[in-house]
A and B are shown apart, each in its own frame.
Chain A
Amino acid sequence: MARLELNSVGKAFGAVRCADDLSLVVEPGEIVAVFGPSGSGKTVLLRMIAGMFEPDDGDILVGGRSIVGAPPERRGIGMAFQNFALFPHMSAQDNIASGLRAKAKGGELTSRVTSISRLLKIEHVLGHMPRELSNGQKQRTALARALIGNPEVLLLDDPLRNVDAKLRYEMRLELPSLLRRSSAAVLYVTQDYREAMAIADRIAVLIEGRLVQVARPEEIYARPASVAVARLFGDPSINLAEVTPHTKQADLTAEIAGTKVRLDPVDQQAADHGPCWLGVRPDDLVVTRTASEDAIPARIVAITPMHERAVLLLRFADGSEWLAALPPDSPMASADDGVFVRFAPEAALLFDRATGLRVGLPHRRQAA
Chain B
Amino acid sequence: MDHSSLAGRIFRGVALALVLVFFMFPIVWILMMSFQTNEQILRIPPHILFEPTLSNYQALISGQLRTTAGNLEIPFMRNLMNSFVLSSAAVLLALLLGVPAAYAFARFKFRLGESIAFTLLSFRFAPPLLVLLPLSLYYQQLGLSDTYFGIVWVYQLIALPLILWIVRGYFEDISPDIEHAYRLAGHSWREAFTRIAVPLAGPGIAAAGLLSFIFCWNNFVFALILASADKQPVTVGALAFVTASGIQYGQIAAAIVLSVTPTLLLALYAQRYLVEGLSLGAVKG
| Tally of contacts, chain A with chain B, CB under 8 A | 82
A98 touches B283 (CB 8 A): no
Q: Please, which residue of chain A has its CB at the minimum distance from the CB of B281?
A: A131
A85 to B184, CA, bound (A): 12
Pick 15 A–B contacts, CB within 8 A, sort by A.
A51-B183, A72-B180, A73-B186, A75-B184, A77-B184, A79-B180, A84-B284, A85-B175, A85-B283, A88-B281, A88-B282, A89-B200, A89-B280, A99-B186, A131-B280
- Of residues 92 to 128 in A, which have CB atoms within 8 Å of B's CB atoms? 98-103
Known: A86-B283, A88-B178, A98-B187. 17 other contacts (CB 8 A): A50-B180, A78-B184, A81-B181, A85-B180, A85-B181, A87-B181, A87-B196, A89-B200, A99-B185, A102-B185, A102-B186, A130-B281, A135-B284, A138-B284, A145-B181, A149-B185, A162-B284
B128 beta carbon closer than 8 Å to chain A: no
Give Cα distance in the complex from A96 to B247, angstroms: 66
Total number of A residues with any Cβ neighbor in B under 8 Å: 34
Q: B248-285, CB under 8 A of A: which get 1 and which 0?
A: 00000000000000000000000000000101111110
Do A98 and B284 touch (CB < 8 A)? no
Q: Are A71 and B183 in contact (CB under 8 A)?
A: yes
Chain A contacts for B186, CB-based, 8 A: 73, 99, 101-103, 149
Cβ-based interface call for B39 (8 A): no
CA distance A83 to B177 in the complex (A): 8
For residue A52, CB closer than 8 A to chain B, the reply is: yes
A81 close to B196 (CB less than 8 A):
no
Complex interface: chain A residues within 8 A of B280 (CB):
88-89, 131
Which A residues are in CB contact (< 8 Å) with B284? Answer: 82-84, 135, 138, 162
Cβ-based interface call for B245 (8 A): no
| Chain B residues whose CB sits within 8 angstroms of the CB of A142 once the complex forms | 181
A347 to B185, CA, bound (A): 48
Within 8 A of A (CB), among B163-194: 175, 177-178, 180-189
| Interface residue tally on B, bucketed by range | 20 to 34
Most B CB atoms within 10 A — which of A50, A52, A73, A149?
A73
Residue on A nearest B174 in the bound complex, by CB:
A88
Name B199's closest neighbour in chain A (CB-CB).
A89
Closest 9 CB pairs of A and B: A131-B281, A102-B186, A85-B177, A88-B280, A99-B185, A83-B283, A72-B183, A85-B181, A88-B282
Q: Which residues of A contact B177 (CB under 8 A)?
A: 81, 83, 85
Min CB distance, B203 to chain A, in Å?
A: 11
**B200 partner residues in chain A, CB cutoff 8 A:** 88-89
Nearest-Cβ distance from residue B157 to partner chain A, whole angstroms: 32
B107 to chain A, nearest CB (A): 12
For A83, the chain B residues whose CB sits under 8 A away are 175, 177, 283-284
Smallest CB–CB gap between A235 and chain B, Å? Answer: 25
Report A-chain residues with C-beta under 8 Å of the C-beta of B196: 87
Q: Are A50 and B175 in contact (CB under 8 A)?
A: no
Point out the residues of chain B lying under 8 angstroms from A87, CB to CB: 178, 181-182, 196
B180 surroundings in chain A (CB, below 8 A):
50, 52, 72, 79, 81, 85
B282 closest partner in A (C-beta):
A88
Chain B, Cβ-Cβ closest to A133: B281
Taking CB atoms, residues of chain B closer than 8 Å to A146 are 184
The residues of B that contact A135 with a CB separation of less than 8 Å are 284
Shortest beta-carbon distance from B171 to chain A in Å: 14
A52: nearest residue on chain B (CB-CB)? B180
